[in-house]
A and B are shown apart, each in its own frame.
Chain A
Amino acid sequence: MSKMDNSRRLFIGAGAAATAGLVIAPGVTLLDLAHARPADEAASSAKRWGMLIDSSKCATGCNDCVAACGKENGVASTGHPETDPQWIRKVELKEIKTGTSHSLPMMCQHCAEPPCVDVCPTGASFKRADGIVLVDRHICIGCRYCMMACPYKARSFVHEEHEDQNPDVPRGKGCVESCTLCVHRIDRDQQPACVESCKEGAMLFGDLNDPNSEISKRIATYATTQVRADLGLNTGVRYQGI
């Protein structure tokens, strides 16, 4: 009996791994996303959404994730690069001594101890129960203190008026904004747009609190990095290969 149970568990495990492997293809939902949260149920701290980015798979010059983010969230260039918001950007790294180069996408790291939340005077900058760090534009006064506090330069201030927003992603002049981890998609069991767009499978999205999720297993197996780990912010976005 116990043997049978075991073998069944193994079978399920293999199935899960197979499904998770399939996630590399765009649009395929991860197994650990399959438990839909009903619309009237609040996000819970049982989950902590996170992302693992493998910089060895991320190609210099590829901008797919940035383009997908812009399309999904309506973040477009207005021709003023200094003031244009950027929710996600491709960063090119070159080791000063060895000259080794890396390419990776950089966005809000969704810290467990977010400095932006600590400094926000009105509480507009907040962390949702499932670990997603957001700006509540209804009470953001546009003081930009969070931008001063963020060690990742993840936040942007909206310097100009915007129209034709995506109905799912309200955004407008005078407030601060940043990557929402595509919270509107997560809430309907979809993956962030950037993850879905990555043909190389360099981005893995999942629940860091679930030891059986693909992301947790990868983090348990391979050496992964938190950017500015010295700050002890416990980021939700992790990197592999740097």
Chain B
Amino acid sequence: MNFEAFRKIENSVFYALLGVFGLIAAAGMGAAYYMESHGHVVTGMTNQIVWGMPHVFAIFLIVAASGVLNLASLGSVFGIKVYKVRGMLSGLLAIAMLAGGLTVLMLDLGRNDRLIVAMTHLNLTSVFALNVFLYTGFFSIVAVYIWTMMDRKMHDYSKYVGFAAFIWRLALTTGTGAIFAFLVARQAYGTALLPPMFIIMSFSFGLAVFLLVQTAMYRWNNRQLDPTIQRRLKNLLAVFVAAVLYFTLVYHMTNLYFAKQSAFERFILLDGGIYTTLFWVGQILLGSLLPLAILFHPEMGKKCNWVIVASLLVIFGGFAQLYVLLIGGQAFPLSIFPGYEVSSSFFDGRINPYSPSLPEFLLGFGGIAVAALITTVAVRVLPFLPDDSVLHGETAGE
């Protein structure tokens, strides 16, 4: 590979990005400090809605982090060259987004000063504790993976490390999905469908994020993406979006067939207010059908700008989907006494309201900014920008 051919991000753009992301990250840290010193009473989270907006952001980032690594896997594991040159950027984004997501998750803890306790006391029956291993392992494997892709002497190992990273990322997303899949208490969770669904969601969100970052980097370097590569990537995104749609369909069909779940399905699909709107308009219409239409449209699908719009819509749909799953799943009351109408001073039997507060949003965006900061700095100091010139001379593609 010709390293000189890699370009770096421009000076002015670099400092502007650093400033903007730095400010957002600082605001996020400030929000975390505010939440920590006043207690979670200043957030919208309650004893009913236990996990809120920070968790939507954190889980999006963690899921997308593992998905963005797919580009590298397609290159190394399946030997497709177009993806191989994108492997390093994909690895970098994976590390950056996981770091961002974990920052949010960690800063939301009630006792985030006890991080050392979380690292030293591990209860191995807990999916969370298992994820501590999966997350730290992911960082190390992907770091080594990037090394094998960058260092010519290490190229021979790239395929094997890439394979390990591929397996690891599947395990990691399974672990993230299992956080919910293993919860027997709430009707929205407790199904083995969630881990595979999270994996396919990661494919879709990850690729959408990758397309955004890649386009931005090309723009700032005044370069054009090869139309054939563009076509392949957008088709891939469309396939992933359709697959998420399929899993969503199966998830709700399963629930609809179980009589005991029908009240919950009614809540999400028909009269859940914000959750119903976010599901039908957010996830299905804007997040899935519209991007599919754009990507498969004979004219629009070829235009770079429209692919960006589609990617943004997919990301928005992803947030909507996670919001419905996480918050909607908690808003619907626990079925403690089936067959009874329940009421109590602790909001039993009632739909739980939730209005996310500003600090929660700031913390979430702070996590995205942390991921963006890591990416910006790394792209500045090391050659991460995909360079398709190495492909010319050979036939671009398989």
Contacts and interface: CB of A to CB of B under 8 A. Distances in A.
Do A and B assemble together? yes
Interface of A: 66, 80-86, 89-97, 102, 106, 115, 117-124, 139-145, 147-153, 156-161, 173-176, 227-228, 231, 242
A199 B347 CA distance: 26
5 contacts: A83-B40, A90-B344, A149-B184, A156-B47, A227-B337
Contacts of A90: 344-345
A121 B128 contact: yes
Given A149-B185, A153-B336, A159 B348 contact: no
Contacts of A174: 36, 39-40, 109-111
A92 B126 CA distance: 34
B154 interface: no
Contact of B123 (A86, A120, A156): A120
A208 to B, nearest CB: 21
Contacts of A102: 340
Nearest to B186: A148
Contacts of A82: 46-48, 347
Given A95-B340, A153-B336, A231-B184, A161 B39 contact: yes
A96 B338 CA distance: 10
Contacts of A144: 50-51, 110
B334 interface: yes
B136 to A, nearest CB: 14
Interface string B168-206: 000000000001001111100100000000000000000
Interface residues of B, number: 49
Given A118-B125, A122-B117, A159 B344 contact: no
Contacts, number: 167
A141 B340 contact: no
Interface string B258-281: 000000000000000000000000
A83 B341 CA distance: 23
A145 B128 contact: yes
B121 interface: yes
Given A89-B346, A153-B346, A119 B47 contact: no
A142 B109 contact: yes
A141 B118 contact: yes
B112 interface: yes
> Counting chain A CB atoms within 10 Å of each CB, which of B48, B111, B117 scores highest?
B111
B223 interface: no
Given A106-B346, A120-B123, A141-B112, 14 more contacts: A86-B345, A91-B343, A94-B341, A96-B339, A121-B126, A121-B128, A141-B109, A141-B111, A141-B114, A141-B115, A148-B51, A151-B184, A157-B110, A160-B38
A159 B122 contact: no
B41 A83 contact: yes
A99 to B, nearest CB: 9
A147 B182 contact: no
Interface string B373-385: 0000000000000
B126 A120 contact: yes
